[in-house]
Amino acid sequence: MLPIYIIRAIAMLLIIPAHEAAHAFVSYKLGDPTAKNYGRLTLNPIAHFDLWGALCMVVAGIGWAKPVPASPTRFQNPKRDMAISAAAGPVCNLLLAYFGMILLKLSDRAIVQLLFINIELSSVLGYVYLFFSVFVQLNISLAIFNLIPIPPFDGSRILLLFLPQKLYFAVMKYERYLMLAVFILVFTGMLDTPLYLANNFMIALIDRATAFIPMG
């Protein structure tokens, strides 16, 4: 199991900075430079690192980083722009999963072609295949997890578009308790089935979107 943890750690160093930097970039483009001013408009993992979130990502495949700061009053349309900046992280992960799936399929085809020519090189490519497999899975997992419509996840800011503002801020009062409840559900396995189904659905969707590259 050790190689899986190492591969997850390497993938995490690419995935989480991209997710957080996407939030910061879109917020900046929409008029809020807060995240940029705090040094979060970067792909440097150290700027986004959260110890417990990183450990959970490596061990369980679900994790988080330091939240990107935002000042809604700096947006021209706070309700809409907060939702757009929140969606930027999961959308970035889904795009990374899409390109990761392409590279996964290409590495699979290369392994098949090299299997009868150079076994050592094909075994090296086996690790490349495993990396992209983990890369795709972690990106999708992070995107789905963050789309949970409960504070402080990205999905809660998107939910603001569909809820009356008064009701939304009434829910936000219980942000800490809701977050704790979600993590209890995750670590007791009660969210395993819905997350598994959502992840598999998205993997199948991306697999179909990259059907122009057949496996093997």
pLDDT tens for each residue of 12-49: 999 999 999 999 999 999 999 999 999 999 999 999 99
Phi first, then psi: give them for residue 140, nearest 5 degrees: -65, -40
Calculate mean pLDDT across residues 125-148.
Answer: 92
Under 8 Å between Cβ of 138 and 12: yes
Model pLDDT, residue 99: 97
Q: Which amino acid is located at 209 in the chain?
A: A
The verdict on whether 175 is a catalytic residue reads: no
Model pLDDT, residue 48: 95
Q: Tokens standing for 186?
A: 């995750």
Is the pLDDT at 184 greater than 90? The verdict is no
Model pLDDT, residue 115: 61
Q: Tokens standing for 40?
A: 């979060």
Question: Which member of 20, 32, 81, 154 is catalytic?
Answer: 20
Confidence of residue 157 (pLDDT cuts 50, 70, 90): confident
State pLDDT tens for residues 63-77. Answer: 888 889 999 889 999
Q: Which amino acid is located at 159 in the chain?
A: L
Calculate mean pLDDT across residues 83-87.
Answer: 95
Model pLDDT, residue 114: 63
Model pLDDT, residue 132: 95
pTM for the whole thing?
0.90
Half-sphere exposure of 41 (CA within 13 A, CB side): 15
Percent of the chain with pLDDT over 70: 94
Is the pLDDT at 2 greater than 70? The verdict is no
Model pLDDT, residue 131: 94
The mean-pLDDT minimum among 15-24, 63-72, 127-136, 160-169 falls in 160-169
Q: Tokens standing for 204?
A: 């199948």
Mean pLDDT, the chain, as a whole number?
A: 88
Residue 5 zone, left/alpha/beta (φ > 0; ψ -120 to 50; rest)? alpha
